[in-house]
A and B are shown apart, each in its own frame.
Chain A
Amino acid sequence: GDSVTQMEGPVTLSEEAFLTINCTYTATGYPSLFWYVQYPGEGLQLLLKATKADDKGSNKGFEATYRKETTSFHLEKGSVQVSDSAVYFCALRKSNSKLTFGKGITLSVRP
């Protein structure tokens, strides 16, 4: 079945460091890809999305590009802030089916 694999965490960075969180997927067909974020004490929010190959999703300084050739959707940010500390989930979904999540990774950003 469909699956999402995220790099192992947790990740701890200093403020203004570059961030990459790896995500690869296994799926038949052409899924949409998502990054969701869960800030401490809050619900799950959509961070960004991409619906087809070579699409780049972006939001709040974060970016991810849908790479079909490598089945990847890595999340990047050029300069992280303390407020980016959260749990990040990569996910995929094919039309009208369930949203399949990766395990999530905890990011902590030090001042």
Chain B
Amino acid sequence: SAVISQKPSRDICQRGTSLTIQCQVDSQVTMMFWYRQQPGQSLTLIATANQGSEATYESGFVIDKFPISRPNLTFSTLTVSNLSPEDSSIYLCSVDSGGNTGELFFGEGSRLTVL
């Protein structure tokens, strides 16, 4: 299984600022996924990030609001821009297990509170 480290684990930010979340994996992976978990809700995919190409965003999510970098096969960042209280969520990085069962491994998440 992959070990995924996310930073920061939590942060409190002011409205209008931005937060960048880092995701480091202990092995090389092709596909990385960024999910959002709003309070009391399920997980929603924001985008899929493949190394060497632009991230693919899900409906309702745009690059200007959630820019993503994927500079190599073990690292990615998600930035949440122009923060508003509605962005208060847990943001999770995940990676494909690489096997044929399709399971994903998840980081412990980054809890963002916007004041």
A98 and B106 in contact, given A32-B101, A49-B101, A51-B101 (Cβ under 8 angstroms): no
Q: Is A74 an interface residue (CB 8 A)?
A: no
Interface size class of B (residues with CB under 8 A): 20 to 34
| Pair B45/A98 contact, Cβ less than 8 Å | yes
| Distance A98 CA – B103 CA, assembled complex (angstroms) | 10
**B103 touches which of A42, A49, A96, A101 (Cβ 8 Å):** A49
| Pair A89/B102 contact, Cβ less than 8 Å | no
| Pair B108/A43 contact, Cβ less than 8 Å | yes
A101 and B42 in contact, given A32-B102, A34-B103, A51-B101 (Cβ under 8 angstroms): yes
One digit per residue, 1 when the CB lies within 8 angstroms of any chain A CB and 0 when it does not, for chain B 69-113 equals 000000000000000000000001010100011111111110000
A42 and B108 in contact, given A99-B45, A102-B42, A104-B42 (Cβ under 8 angstroms): yes
**A51 touches which of B33, B48, B102, B108 (Cβ 8 Å):** B102
Q: List 19 A-B contacts (CB under 8 A).
A: A32-B102, A36-B106, A43-B108, A44-B43, A44-B92, A44-B109, A46-B104, A46-B105, A51-B101, A89-B43, A93-B102, A93-B103, A94-B102, A99-B33, A99-B104, A101-B42, A101-B44, A103-B41, A103-B42
